[in-house]
Homo-oligomer: A and B are copies of this chain.
């Protein structure tokens, strides 16, 4: 039986859980199909619900291509899938992941536009975190020659979402101003770059303080996520902003609406505030839900305001808008080839390191996109890596570590500059 919580994390990170494997194989493997490695979510919950295991390799159906996956994107939404906090989640066991890049290995019947060997990126409705994925051609896009596989996995979801929010929903034009939460993340960096393609657009960004040095050039005004951003924005622009992009939800919805100029647009595109701990917290969920201000249309009329919701995955997989998304992708690939936009990759992780990658995004440690690199070997276990103790406040207000302790941690995760999972076994070696 799988262990829970902190105990579990002492296991080898790329160990294949045989219990889960059996369970999955019983459900999904049929006959003598070839096998592939995949990340399996055995049930909703914490990191311990994720395992790399073998799974029957899919074969392309009519109108599908089979992709030998090189890289996959990891999004905050994947944490919510793991916890089961999304609307109508599919029944586990399942392979998470909504986007990948790779090489076309074969094509199904009646499949046009792609050939074996094509370098592609794709949206999939789950199943991306595997060595092989099959996807209908409507969701597959050829990669520019100069784009790396890691860039491709960092490109599709983030830039399409950012573009559609700015230009399809909010009608961004010259001289406007945009406030974006989590500007250090994948979508946030895409928003900042796309805003720079329109003259005189002012971007207000909110991000954890320790990211500011790295992303300062991408926005005009940068605020720490712990400050009262309403006051900070109003100091600079008393009238507010034209567009607010909010991936947090909760009380930020009312705050965002209050910051809008007349004819301004608030867009909710995520609910990361609903995720607090490793597992689903009904308290956080209920708090966020309760804090979301239900909007009276008559108030919008009086104030000349617009409120919108945007979910790219629903648009693609529930609402059948792949044609529109394709046209957006074409525009974005032009901008990429003109070198006006370039995806920001935070870090590459082996499939077996998915838990550490998820912890990093949970801790808002990333700048840009986290990528699962299918061909990457996992980091060797039991190396000693110096890290800083972070609890309870990762860094002081000036960006320096708040406690000057140097530790050696028994851990495989050395990627996070300030990982917050230092509740693991640590060995104090000195105070400096």
Contacts and interface: CB of A to CB of B under 8 A. Distances in A.
Contact of A295 (B302, B307, B324): B307
A311 interface: yes
Contacts of A296: 292, 294-295
Contacts of A299: 309
Interface string A221-253: 000000000000000000000000000010001
B310 A301 contact: yes
B319 A297 contact: no
Nearest to A168: B263
A302 B294 CA distance: 15
B311 A253 contact: no
A169 B308 CA distance: 12
Nearest to A310: B304
Contacts of A265: 306
A336 interface: no
A206 interface: no
A297 B309 contact: yes
B300 A309 contact: yes
B168 A319 contact: no
Contact of A309 (B169, B289, B305): B305
Nearest to A302: B87
A325 to B, nearest CB: 11
B168 A298 contact: no
A76 interface: no
Contacts of A168: 171, 263
Contacts of A268: 297-298, 300-301
A271 B293 CA distance: 22
B315 A302 contact: no
A262 interface: yes
B306 A307 contact: yes
B309 A301 contact: yes
Given A249-B298, A262-B319, A315-B263, A306 B304 contact: no
Contact of A304 (B263, B294, B298, B319): B319
Choose among A253, A262, A292, A303 the residue with the greatest number of B CB atoms under 10 Å from its CB. A262
A314 B309 contact: no
A186 to B, nearest CB: 18
Contacts of A269: 301
Contact of A301 (B294, B305, B311): B311
Contacts of A293: 297
A321 interface: yes
Interface in A260-291: 262-263, 265-266, 268-269, 271, 289
A297 B301 contact: no
Nearest to A249: B298
Contacts of A295: 294-297, 307
Given A292-B297, A304-B309, 6 more contacts: A87-B302, A265-B306, A268-B297, A293-B297, A301-B310, A306-B306
19 contacts: A87-B302, A164-B263, A168-B263, A171-B171, A253-B297, A262-B314, A263-B321, A266-B297, A268-B298, A271-B301, A294-B294, A297-B307, A300-B309, A301-B310, A304-B309, A304-B319, A306-B306, A306-B307, A307-B308
